Chain A
């Protein structure tokens, strides 16, 4: 019966190929969307870990999350250096990463921070940042130095000891450039698959310098005389602050369970209106708002699959008419109506199976040969990993749906076979 179905399909290969193609394309789309969805979500929740609280000026949690973790958007409000000093002293705080943002290098966000970022920041499964080349700020005496994320470095083709110009504002093209202060690259980070890759990290003092907020200690000796050998990371509290305002501060706590209490303390801080968010929770909330979009994407791809299957149904139904003769011949040599029904179901199954396999092969060719393009053009990183169980279920669901759908034309053929018997009028 199987061989017969194949032979019959081969006889109609023109239209069958088109049907297979339609199913392959819809399978490719469904799998592709599923893959992008899952990997985006994974990338998303991997962006930050180990940080217990993110503190910024009073704002919405999503805004604070977007600016501090994803470096997207501009926080209109900032928190003062005094608030940062207060935060550092809060009980239970073991580490803190100040961040000041607003500048950019050819569209890559510039994040002014301290070495604490390279030591304390974790992403994914508590993985620390690592240097691919060079090192952090602390080995260098000069201020106008920068550490680059992997993508920023590779896209701008910058290496350690290269110079770069920081521009004010976050646009790709800026008319006000801080070109009086070229920065020297001192380190390049390894790829993390998070927004860190796009970051350009400079010391806080450098940010203050290019904005005219900070003068290195040796240039205003008279005020800060006692602190000649400026070890800025240890002593910035006692000096003139390197910057007056910060965009956000990441806090690590002794005990993560304290986060909730500390959050309330910070939110009710009297010196300044502050917001503290827990990154895990905020990410989850944010993802929930994105999930509408995500669900729409899945819905569309499911609809495309249904369209593909309906196309197959149509071709099957249309072929029934011209195949009545074929059915009658089969009946005459003893094929039962159930055999006729089975023949059509097998046919639909084979067509769908080939379509689904072709679609899967297509997906992998896109993933393997198009990965570079996807990454460059869309910034989507999708790996060509083995099919997940969920993807296999999706493929099985397509096959099952096709088989169930094919019962309809198969039933028609069954009825025809019973009614026509051996007399078919052409």
Chain B
């Protein structure tokens, strides 16, 4: 039980496209690892994340998350797996603007019974408050509607939501591209600390090569991907 994400002979072609966008012979990410995946825009990063998160599907045996072959799971099981075991952070607009920061975080447990279970000993809102405080949001900010928060604060709320209930894997899709450098490094540091505390695997995707030194392991997507059907995005 040491691998978290396992790709084998992954082939992915968008419907209607001539060439496969992704063709990855092998990629393994172990539990607890902090991995940076770098790729240029349109190189298939987001598609790869969609495959790992179980939004898109590929052939049998090609994508395994936490030992589960995603192609063998129903849509509902994949949604459930994502809810329970994967925290997802977008580039921006992570939050439902009309809910408070707090409500946005606790929303993570709405579709995730396993997360609720893992939080069994403490209340969901207490843990959410805990996480938000650790990520540097004041109590007043936690009550504010999400759209009143700054972009940096919003990203931290998104991180808290992803972390709540200790999922096995956090996928961060360019979470820092909307932040300036000071906030960016700050954010990554906070993310590292939180992941360490929960022993969560982190898959951090970016186009920004300058982040690579911060990570123990950095992968260049073009090195592992032999597919050439990149789209213009």
Contacts and interface: CB of A to CB of B under 8 A. Distances in A.
Partners in one complex: yes
A10 to B, nearest CB: 7
Interface string A297-337: 00000000000000000000000000001101111111111
A423 interface: yes
Nearest to B104: A329
A232 B23 CA distance: 114
Given A333-B161, A422-B49, A325 B93 contact: yes
Interface stretch (B95-103, B210-218, B219-227): B95-103
A325 B110 CA distance: 18
Nearest to B161: A333
A332 B53 contact: yes
Given A7-B98, A8-B98, A10-B98, A336 B93 contact: no
Given A8-B98, A11-B98, A422 B76 contact: no
A422 B110 contact: no
**Of A8, A331, A338, which is in contact with the most chain B CB atoms at under 10 Å from its CB?**
A331
A336 B83 CA distance: 10
B173 interface: yes
Q: How extensive is the interface on chain A, given as a class?
A: 20 to 34
Contact of B96 (A1, A329, A336): A329
Nearest to A13: B98
A328 to B, nearest CB: 8
A337 B80 CA distance: 12
A371 B56 CA distance: 62
Interface in B160-188: 161, 173
Interface string B94-117: 111111000100011011100000
Q: How extensive is the interface on chain B, given as a class?
A: 20 to 34
Given A339-B111, A421-B56, A422-B46, A326 B96 contact: yes
B82 A334 contact: yes
A426 interface: yes
Contacts of A423: 46-47, 50
B209 interface: no
Nearest to A426: B93
Contact of B111 (A325, A334, A337, A422): A334
B79 A336 contact: yes
A332 B90 contact: yes
Given A7-B99, A332-B88, A422-B173, A337 B50 contact: no
A335 B84 CA distance: 11
B79 A422 contact: no
Contact of A333 (B49, B88, B97, B233): B88
Contacts of B94: 329
A269 to B, nearest CB: 82
Contacts of A1: 110
A335 B111 contact: yes
B88 A422 contact: yes
A423 B173 CA distance: 10
B40 interface: no
Contacts of A339: 111
B55 interface: yes
Nearest to B111: A334
A329 B103 CA distance: 13
B47 to A, nearest CB: 8
**Of B83, B95, B108, which is in contact with the most chain A CB atoms at under 10 Å from its CB?**
B83
B28 interface: no
Contacts of A422: 46, 49-50, 53, 55, 88, 90, 173
Contacts of B50: 421-423
Interface string A325-367: 1101111111111110000000000000000000000000000
Contacts of A11: 97-98
**Of A334, A338, A339, A423, which is in contact with the most chain B CB atoms at under 10 Å from its CB?**
A334
B125 interface: no
A190 to B, nearest CB: 60
Nearest to B46: A423
B79 A334 contact: yes
A423 to B, nearest CB: 5
A326 B93 CA distance: 9
Contacts of A4: 107, 110
B86 to A, nearest CB: 8
A163 B97 CA distance: 76
B130 interface: no
A8 B47 CA distance: 29
A192 to B, nearest CB: 58
Contacts of B76: 336, 338
A333 B111 contact: yes
B138 interface: no
Contacts of A333: 82-83, 88, 107-108, 110-112, 161
A323 B54 CA distance: 22
10 contacts: A7-B99, A8-B96, A8-B98, A329-B90, A333-B82, A333-B110, A334-B112, A335-B83, A335-B111, A336-B79
Nearest 10 A/B pairs, CB to CB = A334-B83, A11-B98, A421-B55, A334-B111, A332-B88, A336-B79, A421-B50, A423-B46, A334-B82, A325-B93
Given A333-B107, A333-B110, A336-B79, 18 more contacts: A7-B96, A7-B98, A7-B103, A326-B96, A329-B93, A329-B94, A329-B95, A330-B96, A331-B55, A333-B88, A334-B84, A334-B111, A335-B110, A336-B111, A338-B76, A421-B50, A422-B50, A422-B173
